[in-house]
Each structure stands twice: as structure tokens, then as C-alpha cells.
Structure 1
């Protein structure tokens, strides 16, 4: 009996000595460090996207280094360079605009830090500069908006005058949502975009630009196509202040399908919103884990989305998470 106790004591002491000699990292694996550069906080959509990324990183046990670019490309480039200097494991970012990324992405590649694009893509000659792009098909969102309008005005004679509130100049959603929408409506000459200007994806700018459209075009505007809900909600204020009824005097088509859009539709002030989900966090963290583990990941991962006309808004609203 004493011999067994002595052996147990020796084994215990040996284990304790080993624990002192070996660093703690041998027992606990270091968390993955992710550097994430966000566009900013320009809309309800972006706020929900940021919350999704932060919460999902926490749930996944990923150490998140977060940077807000305040809608400026130079801030994002600085953030990416800072992540490279910190030797993070993976860099992810939602690019403010499509072009101007070659140099900084080459720097990340030279440092052997994989880059994942979220929400928006980049325009680079060498697509090996990033490992994957997770996000919506913005061209298809524009097509959905166009198809809804074609269906809504079927059998209607006379010109349909459209004003367009574009997103941030040079950004992927602004370029692609315009392209997809025009691709559908160009088949019928009755559709005419009479004014098109950026509202920079913000509510305040959406209101300001819509006021200018109303001054220029008066009651000749039949349709507003806004590249996001925040600009559409700002434009609704301008329409009401001009003594017109949104969704009746002017048909309002928007993109994102945030809660604010559903509230506007329930109030009868917006006709339709095309969904663009901001809840990319869980998918992004899975990609980050796979990339770090050396697993192959798809170059393009498209999020699944729908379209919500005002008639379904009250029924769908309780299910919305953003």
C-alpha cells in the first residue's frame, strides 16, 4: 500500500515539475486573431453588420481587432497596414470603394496574412490577393428591384419617370445595384431615369438629394429607386414635406430590408424593399477558422435573400433580426 502511495506521489511531483517547465501555451491554444476593418456606421444595415461580426467573433472565441473607417478608404488602408504590423492571423474588411487596393493587398500577401472580403468586393487584376469574398449579389438585388417595377406597371401606358438615389460613388453596391436595375428596365422604353445622384447611403443625404429632385422635377416623378433603406427613409421625409404621399404619389423601391423599411411599409410609405442581409458574422468566422486551418474555401460565397413588398411587411416584421 505504501509503495503505491509513493508511486502516486512521485507521479504527481513529476507532473507539477513539468507544468512549471512548460509554457502555458502548451496547454491552452492561442485564439485566432482577426483584424476587421468596417466601412463605418452610415446606416441601420451597417450597424447590424458590425454587431453581427462582433458577437460572432466572441461566440467563436476569436480575438477581434476592430477598426471603423468612417467611410474613408485611406482609413481602411491604414487599418490594414496596422493589422499587418500586428501580425494578425487573418484580415477581413468591407471595402469602402472597389478600386485602389492593389498595393496594400500585396503587402498583406507578402506578410503571408490571408484576406477575406465581406459584403463588398474589390476590383484587382490579381484575385489571389484575397482568399474569399462573402456577400450579397448586388447586381441581382438591382434586377429584383427592376423586375418588381416591371410587374407593378404592367399594362400601364405613358412614361414612367424614375429618380435614383445612388449609394457611395465607386462602391460595389452602388455600381452593381444601378447596373442590375438598368439591365431589367432598359427592355421597355417607357422607363426613364430622369435624375440619378448619390445620397452616400445616409438618411440625411437621401433627404437632401430628394429635395433637390422634387424642386427640379416637381410632380413628374413617378418612382424613387433608392440603393438602400436609409436614403429611402430620408427621401420619404422630403416627399411628405413637399405635400406628396410616399408610396402613393411616388412609388418607392429600396434595398436592404432593415426594420426601418418594414416600419415604413407598415405605415404605407414604402412599396417594396429588396433584402440584403447584414448578418454575415457567423459565416465570416467559419471562413476565418477554415482559412487558419489551411482548409480550402470557396472564392465566392453568396448570401441567400428575398424581396418584401408592403403587403407582406406586417406579417414578416416580427421575424426581422435587424
Structure 2
């Protein structure tokens, strides 16, 4: 098993925690592990960095370890077993597979370790809570942006996320909802690009060879894949303005592409998801804990509810010409 570990060296705060809270009696810090499906691309790097910068982590209240799941559900299950063996107090889970991840959650539950989901869903009712965004809504929003620019005329291709990952399933559902509003639009191709810019570029190169200018829209279920499609179109010497392209996440290159008028994107708040999930995980271990992340102030419509809600949905932010410079400045 391999993993990346993000460590924090801030001094520990003195706490009195009983075994009943789930925290280790031998260690003043709350020990939280986060296993994420993969750290190759920017969005999950943003998520992991935000988790590392949570105020409870930087102050020393929490000892946080982030594990790289390497896009493999079995690797993530191994990481759960490691965290259980090493006596972690709580786990934050960003699963690779909506079904396979349930086994890992069950293992932790059997040992009395709370598991908080974030960003990607797992089909388990044993989660303590879930802090993420509505991917069905995102899939609808991105597809509608593409179709509106096409005036519901012409045909599209869909570049999907990893098959079996909740983002692929739910964004696909949203894509279909938007496409149902444009019954004359035909899907020429749909295939997974595994959240990868390089894989999406290769797919788009093949599709341009097969379909050429018949492709009017590209619905990519994340920004990395939308950016890969853009590179393929440019490499083919085709006019990018003749394509309507959209993705999801608001990664830095996508923000710049929106600014250039090359694509549409919807910002997914990696910081809010990561830090909100850590707040909920700490609360599951420390009953008197009050949230320290900015999530709850940033989105007043989100009710902390004493950390007891089973679902916390972080809103999406469409990237526009009016807000893109501000979003880019915040990324610095």
C-alpha cells in the first residue's frame, strides 16, 4: 500500500477526552484520517490542501493524515484497515466507487469509528454525515450551458467520469435531464475519460476524426476533461468558437479558459467540502466542539445544526465573466 501523508507540526492543545468520545486516551490530539480517491489532478489537491489548512489542524487540535487512494477502491479499503489498526478517531471518505466503498465504511462502523463522506457519495447508510454538493444539479447546469449556446441544435459528445463513481452517475443523470429538454439533439459518443485531461484529449481526437464538425457540443463531467477536449480541438486546427464546451469544478486552468471564452464551468467549493467534513468529523468525536471552518459563514443557508445533519449540501457557483477574476485572485 502506498499513500501520501500531509502532516502538521503545530503544538497540541491540552484536552481531556474520555474513551466514550472515541478519541485516544494516549494522545491529546484528535486523530483524523482522510482517504481521497486520487491526488493526481488539481481539484482533489485543492481539497487535500484545504483540509490541511483547517483551523483545528493548524492549531494542533487535530492530527490529520490524508491518504492517496490512487483511483482504486481496494487501495482505499486497505487504507481504512490501516486507520482502524492505528486507532484513528474519525475518517473522512472521498470514495472512488459508490458501491465498493460501502465495505470500507462497514469496517470502520464495526469498530465504532465515525465516517464522514465528502465530495463523492458511497452507497451506505452507516455514514455519520455527508458534506458535498449536488452532482445531479451540476450535471444539469453544465449540460444546459452547452445546449443553450447550441440553441438546442446540433449534436454532442459526453465525456464521463470513472464508471461507478458517484460523480459519473449523478452528473450523468443531470446531463440526461438537460438533454431531455432538447429532444432533437443527438449524443454522437459517450465514454469515460476517468477525470483525466490526457484521456479526454485522446477521446476527442478520435471523435473529431470520426465526426468532425458534426460535433457542436462537448459535455465533460469535469473541467480536466473539458480542457482535454479543448486541446484536441486546437490541435486539429479547428475553430474553437464553433464548439460549445462545459465542465465542472472550477479548477484554475478552467477559470482561465472561461475568461478566454473557451468554455463554461461551475465552481465546486473544495475548501468548503473538505473543511466542513472535518468540522463534522471532529464533532462526532468531541461533543462540545463548535465548528471552526468558514463554510458556515460563507453559506448562511447551510445550517450547522450542531453537526447532527446527515446531509450538508454545499452550493455550486457558476463561473461567469463577472466573477472569474475574483475567483482567480482567491486561488493565489
TM-score, with structure 2 as normaliser = 0.81
Unaligned runs of 5+ residues in structure 1 are: 1-23
Cα deviation for residue 208 of structure 1 reads: 0.9
Corresponding residue for residue 95 of structure 2: 95
Distance 1:200 1:229 in 2: 12
Contact 2:205 2:232 (8 Å CA) reproduced: yes
Q: Is the 8 A contact 1:262 1:313 kept in 2?
A: no
- TM-score in terms of structure 1 length: 0.84
SS at match of 1:255: coil
The answer for the alignment partner of 1:163 in structure 2 is 157
- The count of aligned residue pairs is 290
Question: Could you list the per-position Cα deviations for residues 223-270 of structure 1 after superposition, in whole angstroms to 9, with x for gaps in the alignment?
Answer: 011111111111111101111122x12111111112211111223322
What is the CA-CA distance between 1:288 and the residue it aligns to?
A: 1.7
Alpha-carbon displacement from aligned partner over 1:114-140 (angstroms, at most 9, x marks no partner): 11111111113xx1x111011010000
Residues 266 and 313, structure 1, Cα contact 8 Å, conserved in 2: no
List aligned pairs for 1:31-42, cutoff 5 A.
31-42=29-40
In structure 2, what is the equivalent of residue 59 of structure 1? 58
**Any residues of structure 2 matched to 1:231-250 within 5 Å, and which?**
231-246=225-240, 248-250=241-243
Matches within 5 A, 1:126-275: 127=125, 129-154=126-151, 159-246=153-240, 248-270=241-263, 272-275=264-267
Match of 2:298 in 1: none
8 Å contact 2:150–2:217 — kept in the other structure?
A: no
Distance 1:182 1:314, change over 3 A: same
Greater CA drift, 276-285 or 75-84: 276-285
SS in 1 for 2:116: strand
Residue matched to 1:321: 331
Provide the C-alpha distance between the structure 2 equivalents of 1:59 and 1:25, rounded to a whole number of angstroms.
16
* Cα distance in 1 between the residues matched to 2:217 and 2:107: 45
Which consecutive unaligned segments of at least 5 residues does structure 2 have? 1-13, 18-25, 288-305
Question: How has the CA–CA distance of structure 1 residues 101 and 45 changed in structure 2, closer, same or farther, with 3 Å as cutoff?
Answer: closer
1:110-129 to 2 correspondence within 5 Å? 110-124=110-124, 127=125, 129=126
Q: Aligned in 2, Cα 1:104/1:258: closer, same or farther, shift over 3 Å?
A: closer
CA contact (8 A) 2:89 2:285 kept: yes
Tell me if 1:307 matches 2:314.
no
Answer yes or no: is the 8 Å Cα contact 2:155–2:186 preserved in 1.
yes
Q: Which one has a larger percent helix, Structure 1 or Structure 2?
A: 1
> Which residue in 1 is equivalent to 2:270?
278
CA displacement at 1:110 relative to structure 2: 1.5
User: Corresponding residue for 2:8?
Assistant: none
1:171-224 CA distance string (max 9 Å, x none): 111111111011122132122211111111011111111111111111110001
Change (3 A) 1:37 1:144: same
Relative to structure 1, the CA distance from residue 35 to residue 29 in structure 2 (aligned partners, 3 Å threshold; closer, same or farther) is closer
Q: Distance in 2 between matches of 1:91 and 1:190?
A: 46
1:52 counterpart SS class:
helix
Q: Who wins on radius of gyration, i.e. which is larger?
A: 1
Contact 1:135–1:301 under 8 Å retained in 2? yes
